Amino acid sequence: MSLEFVYSEKGKRKFIDSGHLFVKDAATEEKTFWKCDQYQNLVCRARLHTRHDKIVKRVGEHNHAGNAARVEVVKVVNQMKNDARETQDVPQRIITNSFIGLSQAASGLMPNISTLKKTIRNTRRLADRAPPNPNSLVDLVIPNDYQITHHDDQFLMFDSNDGWHRAFSELIGASHPTVWKFISSLKDEQALNEGKIEQYVAGANPPPSKK
């Protein structure tokens, strides 16, 4: 049976085995070596060897019982982080949904609400973090997320007039933005104008032009 994996607070992969969590210790081309994640706190010497995500050898015994509730908490927090990255739900809704079906034992081990909200905010902040600004055009590698619009289309390429340039500078909020803020603002500007076009097609009157 394939291993079931979860992720630690630092994003490191752990796997679940009979109510215990294991963290990676070392690896070769053929095997990965794992140790109980309580190897420091409880000086647990239990270890596992895996090949292609399947257990091939067990070494030593745990000096503590498995804790299904603790594993359940890790799974729930992992799911909360996924929801934070993939949805626009407010933190309270994500937390409320996460507690549905949670066992009483796991509920007692869950972090407090303020800590969970902070976890959700941090997860979203990391997900939205832009790459470092390149030092030159040679260093500029544009990730896929910055190459498409909010509708997953390729950017429209065009030139415009100085008036639009001034308005766009105000939208960005800086005369010399980072390239990532510039691209993100382009996407926002295109989405805004697409919305205006849809309104005009539906019969809305465009604003009077300034003279």
How far apart CA 202 and CA 196 sit, in angstroms, is 10
| Residue 117, in any domain of the structure | yes
Token pair 């000096």 in the structure block, residue:
63
Q: Would you place residue 146 in the very low, low, confident or very high pLDDT band (cuts 50, 70, 90)?
A: low
Percent of the chain residues past pLDDT 70, beyond the cut: 61
Q: How far does the chain reach from its first CA to its final CA, in angstroms?
A: 72
Question: Stretch 120-130: mean pLDDT, rounded?
Answer: 79
Cα atoms in the 13 Å half-sphere on the side-chain side of 1: 7
Total number of domains constituting the chain: 3
| Residue 14, in any domain of the structure | yes
Long-range Cβ contacts of 42-51 (<8 Å, 24+ apart): 46/20, 48/17, 48/22, 50/3, 50/15
For residue 143, give both structure tokens. Answer: 């990730």
Q: What is the mean pLDDT of the chain?
A: 78
| Residue 21, in any domain of the structure | yes
pLDDT at 105 over 70: yes
How far apart CA 171 and CA 58 sit, in angstroms, is 59
Q: Would you place residue 80 in the very low, low, confident or very high pLDDT band (cuts 50, 70, 90)?
A: very high
Range of the domain at 164: 137-201
DSSP, collapsed to helix, strand or coil, labels residue 27 as strand
pTM of the prediction? 0.57
DSSP, collapsed to helix, strand or coil, labels residue 101 as coil
R_g of the chain, CA atoms, integer Å: 25
pLDDT at 65 over 80: yes
Q: Same structural domain for residues 9 and 38?
A: yes
pLDDT tens-digit profile of 7-24?
Answer: 877 777 888 998 999 999
138 or 48: whose pLDDT is higher? 48
For residue 149, give both structure tokens. Answer: 């619009």
pLDDT tens-digit profile of 153-207?
Answer: 555 455 454 554 555 555 545 545 566 666 666 766 676 776 667 666 667 676 6
pLDDT at 149 over 80: no
What is the CATH classification number for the domain harbouring 36?
A: 2.20.25.240
| Residue 211, in any domain of the structure | no
Q: What is the pLDDT of residue 63?
A: 95
CB 56 within 8 A of CB 70: no
Q: Same structural domain for residues 119 and 142?
A: no
How far apart CA 9 and CA 122 sit, in angstroms, is 11
| Residue 206, in any domain of the structure | no
pLDDT at 211 over 60: no
Q: Same structural domain for residues 166 and 186?
A: yes
| Residue 102, in any domain of the structure | yes
Q: Same structural domain for residues 161 and 184?
A: yes
pLDDT tens-digit profile of 126-144?
Answer: 777 666 666 765 666 666 6
Q: What is the pLDDT of residue 159?
A: 46
